Amino acid sequence: MKDYYFIQNEVKNMLTFDRFIHSLGVEKEAIKLGERYGVDINKCRIAAIVHDCQKDLSDEELIKKAMEYKIDVDKIQLKSPQLLHGPVGALYSKEKFEIEDEEIINAVYYHTTGRENMSLLEKIIYIADIIEENRKYFPQLESIRHEAYKDLDNALIMSADSTITYVIKRRCLIHPLTIEFRNSLLLGVK
């Protein structure tokens, strides 16, 4: 794997200033969550800094790269190509930053949709993305932030609810992985 500072610098050059600041915020949050839940801090750090590395690509570029990486693009991703920045970012990171750790790759791959039975690292990246310090206010933000350090799964359910509600209000498509993600968390809750 390439050195952290090399990766950070590459990511900085690929992203708008605000998005780079967001990525640093996700990193800071992911490290705190990693300490709280006993997850390898280095994995948290790397996954967080690269998670949005392909987010500034256009819809056309994302579809093109997804094809190149042989990602099986579904009709929902075709209609909402921004969903592809997770999978494309994951495979890009594997190729360019030589990240071989499957857990890191999966955390990046699924950070937008979620999926069922996520690992702790995947959950941390998913939630850190939502609650990091630079996030613009939305109604549930403070309670999700608080819950993330108390009961991670419950914080994830709250986040999935708020994402799905937002998507429905805008009459956008919901990816099936997001539904599976939410259902698996609800089924796992005592």
What would the x/- binding string for Fe ion be over residues 82 to 101, using CB under 5 A? --------------------
With CB under 5 A as the rule, give the number of residues binding Fe ion.
2
Q: Would you count residue 29 as binding Fe ion (CB under 5 A)? A: no
Distance of closest approach, residue 132 Cβ to Fe ion, in angstroms: 8
CA angle in degrees (0–180, nearest 5) for 173-185-176: 20
Distance of closest approach, residue 187 Cβ to Fe ion, in angstroms: 26
Distance of closest approach, residue 54 Cβ to Fe ion, in angstroms: 9
Distance of closest approach, residue 116 Cβ to Fe ion, in angstroms: 19
In this chain, which of 129, 155, 157, 160 binds Fe ion, going by CB under 5 A? Answer: 129
Q: Would you count residue 132 as binding Fe ion (CB under 5 A)? A: no
Q: Would you count residue 122 as binding Fe ion (CB under 5 A)? A: no
- Per CB under 5 A, the segment of 1-9, 50-58, 90-98, 172-180 that binds Fe ion is 50-58
- What is the full DSSP assignment across the chain? ---HHHHHHHHHHHS-HHHHHHHHHHHHHHHHHHHHHT--HHHHHHHHHHTTTTTTS-HHHHHHHHHHTT----HHHHHSGGGGHHHHHHHHHHHHS----HHHHHHHHTTTT--TT--HHHHHHHHHHHHSTTPPP-TTHHHHHHHHTT-HHHHHHHHHHHHHHHHHHTT----HHHHHHHHHHHHH--
- Which CB, 29 or 52, lies closer to Fe ion? 52
In this chain, which of 20, 29, 31, 52 binds Fe ion, going by CB under 5 A? Answer: 52
* Binding positions for Fe ion, rule: CB under 5 A: 52, 129
